[in-house]
Chains A and B, each alone.
Chain A
Amino acid sequence: KNEVEQSPQNLTAQEGEFITINCSYSVGISALHWLQQHPGGGIVSLFMLSSGKKKHGRLIATINIQEKHSSLHITASHPRDSAVYICAVFVNQFYFGTGTSLTVIP
């Protein structure tokens, strides 16, 4: 049983497309994180959310606490956005989704 489920597992998009990655969780949380991991690279924290919506450049993250669901949106996608995006929730420890592998084709 996974506390955090992400979809899709893999995503290929053309440059410029609008992208949505979804995350559902089954536990009561105090915060949700979106992380980025480039191939062979380390983890970069993109957002921490406890409610509502946050925006940073072309990235937007939303969370619906009642529905236990979060989305990560990328507007005007670019090849440099190609990475694995991981959703993580914190209860008494971190629970991670298995990640969404995004490939943006020029």
Chain B
Amino acid sequence: SQTIHQWPATLVQPVGSPLSLECTVEGTSNPNLYWYRQAAGRGLQLLFYSVGIGQISSEVPQNLSASRPQDRQFILSSKKLLLSDSGFYLCACSKQGPKGTEAFFGQGTRLTVV
């Protein structure tokens, strides 16, 4: 079955420190991958999506970057965290299958920048 492994589940980082969140997909190949962020009191907002290795599209300008070094690996990074980077980060995946579009979600990472 298809699953997304996203880690860590929670993270507390000081302002100015780097960030690396990893998302790994199992059970499918060549998926579309997404990073979303949920700031306090707001809905989930698309940050990045990727349709293939090395292909990254950004939806909003920000202090973050994303990379897809392998087909089933999607990484969210920052060189220097800001307080405003605090929030809940969610990795998601979609794949066109014979029965339509399949989609599944990671558990999410709760990041607190202090």
Contacts and interface: CB of A to CB of B under 8 A. Distances in A.
Interface residues of B, number: 20
Majority-rule SS of B interface residues: strand
Interface string A30-60: 1101010100101111001010000000000
Contacts of B101: 30-31, 90
A30 B103 CA distance: 10
A90 B36 CA distance: 14
A33 to B, nearest CB: 7
Interface in A1-49: 2, 30-31, 33, 35, 37, 40, 42-45, 48
B95 to A, nearest CB: 11
A92 B108 CA distance: 21
A12 to B, nearest CB: 18
Contact of A98 (B42, B90, B92, B100): B42
B49 A45 contact: no
Interface residues of A, number: 22
25 contacts: A2-B43, A30-B100, A31-B103, A33-B103, A35-B105, A37-B108, A40-B110, A42-B106, A42-B107, A43-B90, A43-B106, A43-B107, A44-B107, A45-B104, A48-B103, A50-B100, A86-B44, A90-B94, A93-B46, A94-B34, A94-B92, A94-B103, A96-B36, A96-B43, A99-B43
Interface of A: 2, 30-31, 33, 35, 37, 40, 42-45, 48, 50, 86, 88, 90, 93-94, 96-99
